[in-house]
Structures are given as structure tokens and as C-alpha cells.
Amino acid sequence: MTAHLKKVELHCHLEGAASPALTLAQARKYNIDIGAYLRDGVYVWHDFASFLQCYDKISEVYKTEEDYALLTETYLDELAGIGTIYSELIVSPDHGKRIGLGADAYISGVCEGIRRAKAASGIEARLIVTGERHFGPESVIGAAEYAAKAQNPLITGFNLAGEERMGRVADYSRAFDIARDAGMGLTIHAGEVCGAFSVADALDVVRPARIGHGVRAIEDADLVRRLADQGTVLEVCPGSNIALNVFPDFPSHPLRRLKEAGVRVTISSDDPPFFHTSLQREYELAAGIFAFSDAEIDEMTRTGIEAAFVDETTRQALLARI
Ligand code: ADE
Ligand code: ZN
């Protein structure tokens, strides 16, 4: 139904895009037992906290620069195969440090994967460095400092992910100040596990151009109006929201209501194999369950490019392809 449409993805966590097959091969290569987290080709978790734990465990089987190049290249090749022309990957240099690889080697592997994929298909990609709330404000500041100092043209954004119930946005404001001063695009996970107040917090404290998810803003009509008035872009990941039980089913998901209220929305897959989804499926859901026309889907894709953390020349070249 959407095979003919060009696609864009602004919200996908790199390790969250690792296919179970690749993860299993990696685990065997390093003789790591991940049986509690990957069974019968399916990642095992049962709620948001156990999802984050599973995500962190799975990430540990990617150990070298080449592992990260392969992971990145594999996912971008998949995206290019369904007509995706631009991808922003959420990466965690901190994770590189934690596994003993080091932040620079981690990022260097990811960038090599981007180069290989671009050479093969022309797909453009940029990186959003993220801090993880559950590793605490100091580690998030460290991630922002890393992004600010990296001088890497592919690192163009900063994000805050992880356990949304840990602390308030204000606890992490210093990290966003550092990233903003360095000219990074800002986005932040909010309104996913926590309610509308977390989206209002994000707008008040961070003033981001985009919000990761943000869908629970629907609980507050004034906030929806504020998002629409300010032109804040929501990176909406419907399959993720249903898998994590943010909403009980697709008919209750507010994607269409948000769009009709004038909020700028785009579609992404978040951590696709963890949530039994893919960018392809998210576009199919937009056309099917959400009943958006091709023109409306193209509008969301165009919104994604308009809100991309990318230089103006690349943005115009991408827009010309929709
Ligand atoms: N890290 C990976 N996926 C995430 C999500 N959906 N929310 C918060 N942190 C995440
Ligand atoms: Zn996310």
C-alpha cells in the first residue's frame, strides 16, 4: 500500500534496531548467554522497565567498531530497501564507554556504517546523541559534552531517553544547555510513559524543536493547542506505543487526532524488532488503520525533512525527492 512512497525516519534507537538474527549471531560470536532476553527469535520483556533492561543487555553483544559499522549498515540498508531517503539514528556514546570500546570508536564504527550504506543506496543519515535518564544527570551531561566537543558533521542532535519516570526534565536542563550552545538540534522523549505534564515540562525547560513521542499531550487540550501553535514536531511511533501499552489499541491512538488538531507529526519505528514493527509497517499502519491518504502521508514525511537536524542544502535536496 505504501511501497511507492518515499520515507523518512527521525526516531530510531540504533541498538533498538538490531534484528534478533544479528544479535544472536553476535552473542554466539562472543559466547554471551542472552537466553533470558532473546528466545525463539523474539526479544523478551514485559513492561517498560524490563524493555529498557532487555535493550541494555542486547546492546552488550555489539562490542567492536566493526560490530557497530555492521549494525548501522544493516539497518540503513533495510530502510533504503523500502524507499527511505533519510534516517536519524539515536546513539549512545556512553554505551560505547560502558562496554569498554570507548565513545570515539563506537561513533567511528557507526559513521563507517553510514558511509557504507550511503555508498550502496544514497541514503542520508545523521546521528542524535542521547543521554539515558536512568544513568543519572551526570552521565547525561557527559553525553552532551561529548556531542558538543565531537566536531563530527554527522552528529547533529541531542536527545534524552530512558526511564521517563526518573527525575524531572529540569534535572537534565544543563545537558540541554550544553547541546543548544553547541548548535545541536534538540529533541527529548516525553509524553510516552508519563502524562501530558512531561510534555509541558519539556517545552518549558528545553524548548525543543521536536519531541520524541509526545503523544500523551492528547490528555490536555490546551497543551495540544500549544504544540500546534509553536509548530513543535512530534516523532510519533504508533507500534511502539501499542507494544508498550501507552494506549490499549490502535483505534485509541491519537496520531490522527493530533494531526487534525494542527500538530506537526512524523512517523517512526523507535526500536522496531523489540516492538514487532518496522518503518515499513508504521507507514502501512498510517495508510491502513489510521486511514491517511498518500498526500497526507507525504505531508508527514515532508514534515520530517523540514524538522530534520540537517544542513539546508541537504534538506532542500531531500525535499525535492518527495
Ligand atoms: N530507549 C530506547 N527506546 C526507548 C523508548 N521508547 N523510550 C525511552 N527510552 C528508550
Ligand atoms: Zn525512543
pLDDT in tens, 272-294: 999 999 999 999 999 999 999 99
Residue 210, H or E segment: strand 210-213
Q: In b/e form, how buried is each residue of 129-157, taking b as 16+ CB within 10 angstroms?
A: bbbbbbbbbebbbbbbebbbebebebbbb
CA of 269 to the centre of ligand 2 (A): 8
Residues 22-43 have a mean pLDDT of: 97
CA distances from 241 to 16, 186, 294 (A): 15, 22, 23
- Under the banding of pLDDT at 50, 70 and 90, the label for residue 190 is very high
The number of the ligand 1 atom at minimal distance from the alpha carbon of 164 is: 8
Residue 98 has a pLDDT of 87
Pocket test for ligand 1, best of 43, 55, 247 (most atoms within 8 A of CB): 55
124-132 and 84-91: which strand pairing? parallel
Helix (H, G, I), strand (E, B) or coil at 292: coil
Q: What is the mean pLDDT of residues 163-184?
A: 96
For a pocket test of ligand 1, which of 14, 50, 51, 247 has the largest count of ligand atoms closer than 8 A to its C-beta?
Answer: 51
Are 212 and 235 in contact by the 8 Å Cβ rule? The answer is yes
Q: Which of 192, 235, 296, 312 is catalytic?
A: 192
Ligand 1 contact via 16 beta carbon (within 6 Å): yes
Atom nearest to 192 CA in ligand 1: 7
Position 87 pLDDT exceeds 90: yes
State the DSSP H helix or E strand holding residue 318, giving kind and residue range, or none if neither. Answer: helix 312-319
pLDDT of residue 288: 98
CB 94, CB 102: distance < 8 Å: no
Provide the pLDDT for residue 108. 98
Separation of CA 291 and ligand 1 centre (Å): 27
66 noted as active-site residue: no
Domains of the chain: 7-18+62-319 (3.20.20.140)
Please say if the pLDDT value at position 147 is more than 90. yes
Q: Measure 162 CA to ligand 1 centroid, in angstroms.
A: 5
Looking at residues 182-202, what average pLDDT do you find? Answer: 97
Which atom, in ligand 1's list, is nearest to the CA of 130? 1
